[in-house]
Structure 1
Amino acid sequence: MMVKVTIGRAVLALSALVTLGFGVAAAGLVPIAASSGHWKITDWFLHWTMQNSARTYSAVQTPRDVRDDTGLVSAAGHFRQACQVCHGAPGERPSPVMQAATPPAPDLAKTAGHYTDRELFWIIRHGVKYTGMPAWAADGRDDEVRRMVGFVRRLSSMTPAQYRALTVQDAPAAAPPVIARCSGCHGADGSGRNQRDVPILAGQDAAYMAATLRRYRDGGRASAVMQTAAAALDDREIDTAARYYASLPGLPRRDVAPLHPIAAHGLAEAQLPACARCHREGGTAPRIAGQRQNYLAERLRHWQGEETVIDAHKPQDPMAVIARRIPDEAIDDLARALAAETR
């Protein structure tokens, strides 16, 4: 005997299923233990859904440039601090505790090839729900995400020796213990290991460096790399690291010389003050004479700001206003002039 299907009966059946589902959930019968794992079909479906989502959203939520292969040291340093424990690294096994998650973090040397650069950028930038994969810890730092994409792309061919060379630089025996946490990226000599995106710390003002580290630690300045590095430092370690790098030969201890019109005089028509007005010996602004050219230009462009750049919207930071008054076409020449200052 056929049962006639009507709208009323369909609604009643659906309501019964929903009620049953809520009843099962309310009774705590849904197994959420990571130790229980997923059924194979559930695992396949969730992974398939994630891949489709990454493919779709990466097509509309990523910038034009999504990969930078020039900042491997800073990206590798962050990977070592924040990612290695889950994913492992060349010559380094992942934590067995983290591998007991459901799902466990994949070996990126094997799985990154399944994704395009644009998809990798989106996953690193936004994270993945229900997997333990977090979003990037600092908004507005797409430059850091691009460098991480470049680093992840290298993992499949990277040797343990190459990974160690990127992430570890032994500090002198006389250096304070905290310098071992900094030297991997900044070098034991504070030179930034000649990396385009890492500033020179040697000779920088100690008070400025200490204040900047505290801002990173407390979330007042945006950088997933530096916020992670500074999070574990107490005030004593911050002051010790700042004094150590300030004592090394590097950036000149003097005022900015007039090697560029904006550095010397500013732009009156744009209400732009001269760099030399604040960046002088004994002032509260950092030393920029002799600083790395690419780092200076990149910082100025961050302050000029895409809409997502947090630093450029901090009212207590005067550089947010000043940088936006510098003509974009003048930034590279200004950075080159400042970097050429004799050390």
Structure 2
Amino acid sequence: MGRSRPEEAATAATPDAPRPTGRPEQKRGRLHALIAGLHANAADLVEHVLQHWRLVLGLLATACAGALLFAWSGLYSVAATAGHYPAFRYLLAFGLQQSVRTHTMGIEVPDNLDDPALIRRGAGHYQGGCAPCHGAPGQARNPITRRMLPEPPYLAPRIADWRPAELFWIVQHGIKYTGMPAWVAPDREDEVWAMVAFLLRLPGLELAEYQRLAYGEAAGSTTAAAEGLELLLRNGPVGGGIAACRRCHGTSGGGGPEGAFPRLQGQTETYLYEALKAYALGTRPSGIMQPVAAELDEAEMRLLARHYAAQPPDPAPPAPPADPAMLALGRRIALEGLPERRVAACAGCHGPAPGGVNPGFPRLAGQQPGYLVDQLALWMRGIRGGEYEAPSARLMALAVGVDPRRPPAREALWPLSPAEIRAVAAWYAAQPATLADPPLAASR
């Protein structure tokens, strides 16, 4: 067609080029010359394909027919014991890596992945949800999962192969045909980042440190538990003989010193039971709580709710001094609301309020501030308060000025700004926690 061949184009592009010596810059020059030659012949290739389209279609049809015939023959073994052909295994690994890299473009990595509370939160779930397949320090993988194809890898030495954004995408979306599930509540990106924070910490963990992070106070004995609860803790639904409730929240429901988990002390039995039931049904989204609650039966839910509601509040750990102006803003929002933005006063439903509060609503006094910040952000984003949640949850969405069907498109449009959310969370955290009030009907 009058165009030079790739070799001629390469020679024309570098007429005085010396013979290759293996140096990187000379190899790059040869590669650029080859690419230039391919571009020069691209039009020829397209023209040849158009001229011989019948032959091309015939070859494609023959290849498809051959593939179907091979599948029909049953010669390819689908047994997990047979493994994949080496070329196919390489193709799958290459496709996995490239797919993850492509789909993580634009993911913004938060700058707090070294937060101890975030790491602790991820560790608690890893022990119950991930360690059986992927192992942990001092803990062997389940032998059944090791006969899967592909076999779930022992994760600690593999974490370095992936960037934080890639780990986030894998945890959130899972991987097809591997047994790696997607996150149960994919909208809960805060939980997924907690898992990433822990995974980044996993490679350097010794056994004692892993047990402290994964089990909390449950790494020790269960002798302090009441008899009925002790049976649940020893034979609970998730995790090495100790139920996930104690692993994260502790026996007394204090949530631990890191602030990774909410305090259950001082909440009403009604609220705790309804929360567990909502998690179990999946109407309240949480990839950490839903798998745990789904394994509890009615009696276990009521037992746990009764136990934690009866626990006296622990003394709050000393908190860093808060800005007086910040506390004043939080107090105003809690007691008066922001009527100009359709944000109701928090105290009407969550206390402190004269005569107590509805037993179906959570009490916020003495609650972990990080937990309150995370939950209010979920309301702002429309993740909480959806049509399948309880009426009280939809009422809360209205109280903070958000329509879950049309949540604010960006943070700047939230009825409560991030600074205001932190302020009201700090004010409630500074209030003394007490045992739950009796139900309103009983108090009257």
Shift of 1:127: 1.1
Distance 1:45 1:295 in 2: 43
In the alignment, is the contact (CA less than 8 A) between 2:174 and 2:180 conserved in 1? yes
Q: In the alignment, does 2:142 pair up with 1:69?
A: no
Alignment partners' CA distance in 2, 1:67 and 1:107: 26
Map of 2:398 onto structure 1: 321
Aligned equivalent of 1:9: 55
Aligned equivalent of 1:124, options 171, 181, 189: 171
What does the per-residue CA deviation read over 1:252-275, in whole Å, with 9 as the maximum and x for residues that have no partner? 9xxxxx971121122222232211
- 3-state SS in 1 of match to 2:81: helix
Counterpart pick for 1:31 among 62, 67, 77: 77
Amino acid at match of 1:76: A
Output one character per residue of 1:151-192: Cα deviation in whole Å (capped at 9) or x when no partner: 111111111222222222144242513354111100112110
Tell me if the contact between 1:200 and 1:291 (Cα under 8 Å) persists in the aligned partners: yes
Post-superposition offset of 1:33: 1.2
Q: Which residue, 340, 359, 378 being the options, matches 1:302?
A: 378
CA deviation after TM superposition for structure 1 residue 6, in Å: 4.2
Aligned match of 2:232 in 178, 189, 192? 178
Q: Which runs of 5+ in 2 are unaligned?
A: 1-50, 234-241, 316-328, 403-414, 434-444
Kept after mapping to 2: 8 A contact 1:120/1:149: yes
* Cα distance in 2 between the residues matched to 1:275 and 1:8: 73
CA 1:229 to 1:118, structure 2 compared with 1: closer, same or farther past 3 Å? Answer: same
Which secondary structure does the structure 1 equivalent of 2:256 belong to?
A: helix
Q: Which residue of 2 aligns with 1:79?
A: 126
Q: Distance in 1 between matches of 2:310 and 2:290?
A: 24
Change (3 A) 1:190 1:173: closer
Distance 1:133 1:54, change over 3 A: same
Q: Does 1:44 align with 2:90?
A: yes
Maintained 8 Å contact 1:66/1:117: no
Give me the CA root mean square deviation: 2.2
* 1:342 alignment counterpart: 432
Q: Distance in 1 between matches of 2:129 and 2:185?
A: 13
CA distance in structure 1 between the partners assigned to 2:232 and 2:397 by the alignment: 31
Give the secondary structure class of the aligned counterpart of 2:149.
Answer: coil
Q: Which of 362, 379, 382 is the matching residue for 1:286?
A: 362
Q: How many residues align?
A: 330
2:409 counterpart residue number: none
Q: What does residue 261 of structure 2 align with? A: 198
Which is bigger in relative contact order (C-alpha 8 A, separation at least 6)? 1
Whichever residue aligns with residue 110 of structure 2, its letter is D
Q: Which shows bigger deviation, 135-144 or 8-17?
A: 8-17
State the TM-score, normalizing by the size of structure 1: 0.89
- The one-letter code of the counterpart of 1:40 is P
Pick the aligned partner of 1:236 from 286, 299, 306: 299
**CA distance change for structure 1 residues 251 and 160 in 2, over 3 Å: closer, same or farther?**
closer
Deviation at 1:118, TM superposition (A): 1.2
Quote how far apart the aligned CAs of 1:80 are. 1.3
Alpha-carbon distance change, 208 to 321 in structure 1, aligned in 2, over 3 angstroms: same
Distance 1:184 1:296, change over 3 A: same
- C-alpha offsets along residues 223-254 of structure 1, whole Å, 9 cap, x if unaligned? 110011111100100000011011011189xx
1:255 maps to what in 2?
none
Match of 1:113 in 2: 160
Pick aligned residue for 1:275 from 346, 350, 357: 346
1:301 to 1:251, Cα distance in 2 relative to 1, 3 A: farther
Identity of paired residues, percent? 35
The whole-number CA distance in structure 1 between the counterparts of 2:225 and 2:419 is: 45
Q: Does 1:311 align with 2:384?
A: yes
Deviation at 1:331, TM superposition (A): 1.1
Q: Whole-Å Cα distance in 2 between the matches of residues 273 and 34 of structure 1?
A: 58
Q: Structure 1 stretches of 5 or more lacking a match? A: 253-257
Q: Secondary structure at the match of 2:56?
A: helix
Question: Which deviates more, 315-324 or 219-228?
Answer: 315-324
Letter in 1 for 2:199: V
Secondary structure at the aligned position of 1:192 is classed as coil
Distance 2:349 2:81 in 1: 59
Larger Rg: 2
